[in-house]
């Protein structure tokens, strides 16, 4: 038996696992300190009441033989119509029309971003922005694919544009970006769609944070761009939109127009999912179906507003300190320059030890993240304010 030796090419541990381990070690050594985590983007607001009501009703359905549910419907890879219809409605409000068979329900964007690679040959070349969500790189390293990087930096506002002299087959885009918070305008995305069409490449578009966008010039979905259905797969999640990090539900759009080598990727994905996945629980799907109702959208926007205020509290603190940052406006992440020329892990340790605040080192997202640091707006208001007053007191010195 031989192991998949590509795993040996990975870093020792996943970025957020390393951050978690270091935090736990510090807390164990200093049990008297109150450590505030503004590191992993994990939500703190409770689920919206409409979601809770729908889940309670679904639990009741499971208690009666007349309404009990086993496996989900296999017509749409175990996604219930009521949920798929609500997702289609949410897209139509963005001017995008979808067929039910193009909407695949998942247990979150992360799983599908990794699983989608089953559809692609190993000798495809992958293009990944740097810095970016580490899952794109790690999953391709596990598979042994060649990875090229598109530099995201101060010069391009952390939004790399296509270089037509580079030949890539699979291109990842994340907008609003994790970790930098930068988001592509519709005009900029047109260029990426043009690139993918010209190169016969596939765009893997991670839109997990799209509900944070308020600026109408920015794209909420790649399918707002003409031609994108022929070249893009979009990944979305209820995690950050509706506080589902502990519930687990997302959706992936694979358009029927997306055909490569004469084969429909929609058909391949349906085949893959029906073979390797048994769907998301009925209770979860019913909760998710309440999110994009009129009342659901109203309630989730209150929570999104809460996180936006947190982002402003952090941004104001950095403004006061004269520290450069991006993000925080159409995104829950604030991407700040480490003060006094510290590198990312140096600043991580400095902040943990002197302010008992945990963030995420920028270098964990790629080489261009070195010297930067990510703070999340997903904490509680009290913790965010307290963290900022500690940061202010420490860095004013
Ligand atoms: C993050 O902090 O980058 C995210 O929470 C990670 C994730 O969504 O998996």
The CATH number assigned to the domain holding 319 equals 3.90.1150.10
**For ligand 1, is residue 379 a contact (CB within 6 Å)?**
no
Percent of the chain at pLDDT > 90 equals 98
105 and 247 fall within a common domain: yes
**For ligand 1, is residue 331 a contact (CB within 6 Å)?**
no
- Between the alpha carbon of residue 92 and those of residues 85, 87, 161, 220, the distances in Å are 10, 9, 28, 12
Percentages helix, strand, coil for the chain, rounded to the nearest 5? 45, 15, 40
Q: How far apart are CA 237 and CA 232, in angstroms?
A: 17
**For ligand 1, is residue 180 a contact (CB within 6 Å)?**
no
Pocket test of ligand 1: the residue of 40, 176, 373 to mutate, having most ligand atoms within 8 Å of its CB, is 40
Q: How far apart are CA 342 and CA 364, in angstroms?
A: 15
- Give residue 233's pLDDT: 98
Pocket test of ligand 1: the residue of 43, 133, 137, 236 to mutate, having most ligand atoms within 8 Å of its CB, is 133
CATH number at residue 82: 3.40.640.10
Distance, CA 246 to ligand 1 centroid (Å)? 12
276 and 135 fall within a common domain: yes
Residues in the chain: 397
Average pLDDT on 146-152 reads 97
Q: Which domain holds residue 103?
A: 49-294
- Mean pLDDT rounded to a whole number for the chain: 97
Note the maximum CA span of the chain.
Answer: 67
Q: How far apart are CA 176 and CA 212, in angstroms?
A: 8
Whether the CB-CB separation of 105 and 111 falls below 8 Å is answered with no
**For ligand 1, is residue 178 a contact (CB within 6 Å)?**
yes
The residue written with tokens 């989730």 in the block is 300
Distance, CA 257 to ligand 1 centroid (Å)? 30
138 and 26 fall within a common domain: no
Whether the bond between 360 and the residue before it is cis, its omega within 30 degrees of 0, is no
- Give residue 386's pLDDT: 98
Nearest CA to ligand 1 atom 1: 41
Whether the CB-CB separation of 248 and 284 falls below 8 Å is answered with yes
* pLDDT tens-digit map of 47-75: 999 999 999 999 999 999 999 999 999 99
Residue 222: which pLDDT band, with cuts at 50, 70 and 90? very high
pTM: predicted TM-score of the whole model, two decimal places: 0.96
Indicate whether 113 pLDDT > 90.
yes
Q: How far apart are CA 361 and CA 375, in angstroms?
A: 9
Out of 270, 294, 318, pick the residue that ends a domain.
Answer: 294
**For ligand 1, is residue 342 a contact (CB within 6 Å)?**
no
Indicate whether 397 pLDDT > 90.
no
Residue 55 burial (CB < 10 Å; 0-12/13-18/19+)? buried
* pLDDT tens-digit map of 240-289: 999 999 999 999 999 999 999 999 999 999 999 999 999 999 999 999 99
Q: How many domains does the chain have?
A: 2
**For ligand 1, is residue 41 a contact (CB within 6 Å)?**
yes
Closest atom of ligand 1 to 376 CA is: 2
Residue 11: which pLDDT band, with cuts at 50, 70 and 90? confident
**For ligand 1, is residue 131 a contact (CB within 6 Å)?**
no
142 and 196 fall within a common domain: yes
Whether the CB-CB separation of 384 and 315 falls below 8 Å is answered with no
* pLDDT tens-digit map of 286-330: 999 999 999 999 999 999 999 999 999 999 999 999 999 999 999
Closest CA to 376 of 299, 308, 317, 318: 308
Q: How far apart are CA 273 and CA 102, in angstroms?
A: 13
78 and 100 fall within a common domain: yes
53 and 28 fall within a common domain: no
Closest atom of ligand 1 to 42 CA is: 5
Indicate whether 13 pLDDT > 90.
no
179 and 286 fall within a common domain: yes
């Amino acid at each position: 038996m031989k192991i998949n030796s590509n795993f040996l090419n990975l870093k020792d541990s996943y970025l957020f696992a390393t951050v978690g381990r270091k935090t736990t070690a510090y807390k164990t050594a200093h049990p008297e300190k109150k450590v505030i985590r503004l590191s992993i983007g994990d939500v703190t607001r409770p689920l919206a009441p409409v979601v809770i009501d729908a889940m309670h009703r679904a639990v009741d359905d499971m208690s009666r033989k007349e309404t009990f549910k086993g496996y989900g419907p296999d017509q749409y890879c175990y996604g219930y119509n009521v949920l798929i219809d609500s997702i289609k409605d949410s897209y139509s409000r963005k001017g995008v029309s979808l067929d039910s068979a193009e909407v695949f329900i998942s247990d979150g964007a992360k799983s599908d971003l990794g699983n989608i690679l089953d559809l692609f040959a190993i000798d495809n070349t992958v293009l990944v922005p740097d810095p970016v969500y580490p899952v794109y790189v790690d999953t391709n390293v596990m598979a042994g694919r060649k990875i090229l990087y598109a530099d995201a930096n101060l010069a391009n506002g952390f939004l790399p544009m296509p270089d037509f002299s580079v030949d890539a087959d699979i291109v990842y885009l994340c907008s609003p970006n994790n970790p930098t918070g930068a988001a592509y305008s519709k005009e900029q995305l047109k260029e990426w769609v043009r690139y993918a069409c010209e190169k016969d490449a596939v765009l893997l578009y991670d839109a997990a944070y799209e509900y944070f966008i308020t600026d109408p010039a920015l794209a909420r979905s790649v399918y707002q761009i003409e031609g994108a259905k022929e070249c893009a797969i979009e990944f979305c999640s209820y995690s950050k939109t509706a506080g589902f990090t502990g519930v687990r539900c997302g959706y992936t759009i694979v358009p029927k127009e997306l055909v490569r080598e004469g084969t429909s990727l929609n058909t391949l994905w349906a085949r893959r999912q029906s073979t390797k996945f048994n769907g998301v629980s009925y209770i979860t799907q019913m909760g998710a179906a309440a999110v994009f109702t009129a009342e659901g959208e109203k309630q989730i926007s209150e929570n999104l507003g809460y996180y936006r205020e947190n982002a402003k509290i952090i941004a104001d603190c950095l403004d006061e300190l004269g520290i450069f940052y991006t993000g925080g406006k159409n995104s829950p992440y604030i991407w700040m320059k480490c003060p006094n020329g510290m590198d990312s892990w140096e600043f991580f340790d400095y902040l943990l030890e002197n302010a008992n605040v945990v963030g995420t080192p920028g270098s964990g997202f790629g080489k261009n993240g070195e010297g930067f640091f990510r703070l999340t707006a997903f904490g509680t208001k009290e913790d965010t304010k307290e963290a900022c007053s500690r940061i202010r007191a420490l860095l004013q010195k």
